[in-house]
């Protein structure tokens, strides 16, 4: 099972703790205010699945969704 | 201000923590963790008649609910104190509620992104080494007085564009606002006036001669209607950055070093496995969160089943939330490779600490540089560790001996 995950950052919940970007910079970008957005269309490249879940479980605002497609 | 107002009223010692808690009691200052456990076991929200009436949420869930609820809980007062005088000086965005909060916060965010912090990092690394150079040959030091205190002072001074050697002045004001000010209104007001006068001077200098620093950036910033900020707004933001940016990080670095001094296994592991530094820093932030915030109840509501009424303050203890065992397994253990760590050390919701990226960078660099130069150290049995009182908790005396125990 690889390449089948998608991530999404809820912009209403994100408060810019930037934990996801620190843990998985390949998957999460920060804007000029330091708020997070999923990189590109949010598809998680093969091999980075653990990082997606790690980012999710370290978000203090529960703003990250990991969707299994 | 009359002398009677400036007198420091003594608080009677606490005998019933559940009905009469006091976060300035010496027992709390020394070791608050068993108290929080006792309060959490009693109720998700407890109340004291002290401080003119104050609640404290004791669980992660109750703290989170209040942090997210800007309708019933206002940030117009953010320190639980003996007095509740009329509000004369604000510090947006920390003292702002919606809708004023967001535009005020957005002005401050860009200079504090992780990328912006990377540019400051070499200066902070140099600061740490300059400090260590001053005491390493002695084989011992009070790390709170000689090391942890000066790192955030010099870093924020560097960012703001004010002299790093004015640091002692900043530390005096912060002590007066955050510690003495809880019980002594006159001292707090004087400190705020002194800070305002100090920054007004720096603002005026930059009106003629702009400079590449955060003060100038704020002076050039435009509000949501495209108008320049008033001097009062800039002053408020500068006071906030100074008050919020110094003894908080001083405390966080100090508690981390205190833990490593008394826990050789963690210290040795961190030296051997430096890749654990990020998770260790997050764990120190969770277990020894320095900052307790406050709210004022403005509308009656219910939190975790407990009625909460206007006229009371709320002691918003993110540190206690971070010790809640229903959210953090082994909450009272420090696990430096903890994988899942949604701690609330920098707050939750719209008031997330604007300087969290700065604090993390300073903590990481301070611990890394210390461990490189002084990998072996321990608490000095001849000295005594002392802790700050009230709003921000961290070591204010941290006597350490260097080298392996003989």
Residue extents of the structural domains in chain B: 3-402
Closest approach of A43 to chain B, Cα-based (Å) = 22
Q: Which positions 38-67 of A are in contact with B (Cβ < 8 Å)?
A: 54, 57-62
Mean pLDDT calculated for residue range B12-23:
97
> Which of B115, B340, B344 faces A57 most closely, judged by CB atoms?
B340
CATH number of A5-68: 3.30.70.20
Mean pLDDT calculated for residue range B400-404:
93
Among B109, B283, B350, B355, the strongest candidate for a mutation testing the A interface, having the largest count of A CBs within 10 A, is B109
Q: Provide ipTM, 2 decimals.
A: 0.96
Vertex B150, ends B145 and B154: CA angle to 5°? 165
Q: How far apart are CA B240 and CA B252, in angstroms?
A: 18
At B317-349, the pLDDT tens digits run 999 999 999 999 999 999 999 999 999 999 999
The pLDDT value recorded for residue B10 is: 83
- Residues in chain B with CB shorter than 8 Å from the CB of A58 are 282, 340-342
Interface check B199 vs A, CB under 8 A: no
Q: Are A21 and A29 in contact (CB under 8 A)?
A: yes
Closest approach of A37 to chain B, Cα-based (Å) = 14
Q: How far apart are CA B20 and CA B35, in angstroms?
A: 12
Q: Are B183 and B189 in contact (CB under 8 A)?
A: no
Residue extents of the structural domains in chain A: 5-68
The pLDDT value recorded for residue B4 is: 39
Mean pLDDT calculated for residue range B212-216:
94
Q: How far apart are CA A44 and CA B64, in angstroms?
A: 30
- CB contact under 8 Å between A62 and B342, yes or no, is yes
Among B356, B359, B361, the strongest candidate for a mutation testing the A interface, having the largest count of A CBs within 10 A, is B356
At B260-311, the pLDDT tens digits run 999 999 999 999 999 999 999 999 999 999 999 999 999 999 999 999 999 9
Taking CB atoms within 8 Å and a gap of at least 24, the contacts of B280-284 are B280/B336, B280/B337, B280/B367, B281/B256, B281/B360, B281/B363, B281/B364, B281/B367, B282/A58, B282/B338, B282/B341, B282/B343, B283/B334, B283/B335, B283/B336, B283/B338, B283/B341, B284/B252, B284/B255, B284/B256, B284/B259, B284/B334, B284/B363
Chain A residue whose CA is closest to B110: A33
CATH H-level superfamily of B3-402:
Cytochrome P450 (1.10.630.10)
């Amino acid at each position: 099972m690889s390449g089948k995950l998608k991530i999404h950052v809820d912009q209403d919940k994100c408060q810019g703790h930037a934990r996801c970007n620190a843990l998985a910079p390949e998957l999460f970008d920060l804007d000029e205010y330091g708020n997070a957005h999923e990189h590109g269309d949010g598809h998680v490249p093969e091999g980075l699945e653990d990082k997606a879940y790690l980012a999710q479980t370290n978000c203090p605002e529960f703003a990250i969704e990991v969707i299994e497609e | 201000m009359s002398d009677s107002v400036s007198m420091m009223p003594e608080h009677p010692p606490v005998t019933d923590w559940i009905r009469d808690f006091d976060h300035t009691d010496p027992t709390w200052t020394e070791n608050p963790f068993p108290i929080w456990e006792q309060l959490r076991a009693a109720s998700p929200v407890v109340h004291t008649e002290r401080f003119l009436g104050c609640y404290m949420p004791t669980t992660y869930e109750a703290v989170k609910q209040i942090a997210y609820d800007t309708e019933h809980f206002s940030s117009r007062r953010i320190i639980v104190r003996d007095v509740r005088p009329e509000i004369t000086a604000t510090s947006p965005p920390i003292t702002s509620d919606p809708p004023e909060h967001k535009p005020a916060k957005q002005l401050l965010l860009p200079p504090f992104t992780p990328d912006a912090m990377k540019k400051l990092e070499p200066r902070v690394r140099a600061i740490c080494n300059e400090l260590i150079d001053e005491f390493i040959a002695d084989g011992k030091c009070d790390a709170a007085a000689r090391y942890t205190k000066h790192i955030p002072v010099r870093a924020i001074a560097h960012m703001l564009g004010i002299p790093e050697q004015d640091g002692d002045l900043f530390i005096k004001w912060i002590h007066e606002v955050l510690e003495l000010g809880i019980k002594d209104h006159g001292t707090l007001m004087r400190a705020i006036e002194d800070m305002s006068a100090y920054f007004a001077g720096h603002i005026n200098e930059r009106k003629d001669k702009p400079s590449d620093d955060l003060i100038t950036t704020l002076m050039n910033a435009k509000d949501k209607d495209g108008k320049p900020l008033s001097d009062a707004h800039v002053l408020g933001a500068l006071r906030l950055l100074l008050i919020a940016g110094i003894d908080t990080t001083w405390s966080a670095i100090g508690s981390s070093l205190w833990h490593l001094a008394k826990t050789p296994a963690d210290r040795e592991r961190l030296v051997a496995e430096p890749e654990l530094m990020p998770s260790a820093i997050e764990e120190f932030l969770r277990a020894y969160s320095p900052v307790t915030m406050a709210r004022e109840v403005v509308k009656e509501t219910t939190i975790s089943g407990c009625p909460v009424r206007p006229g009371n303050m709320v002691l918003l203890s993110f540190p206690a939330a971070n010790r809640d065992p229903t959210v953090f397994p082994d909450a009272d253990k420090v696990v430096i490779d903890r994988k899942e760590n949604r701690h609330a050390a920098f707050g939750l919701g719209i008031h997330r600490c604007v300087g969290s990226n700065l604090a993390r960078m300073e903590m990481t660099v301070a611990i890394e540089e210390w461990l490189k130069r002084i990998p072996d150290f321990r608490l000095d049995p001849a000295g005594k560790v002392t802790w700050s009182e009230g709003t921000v908790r961290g070591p204010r005396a941290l006597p350490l001996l260097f080298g392996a125990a003989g």
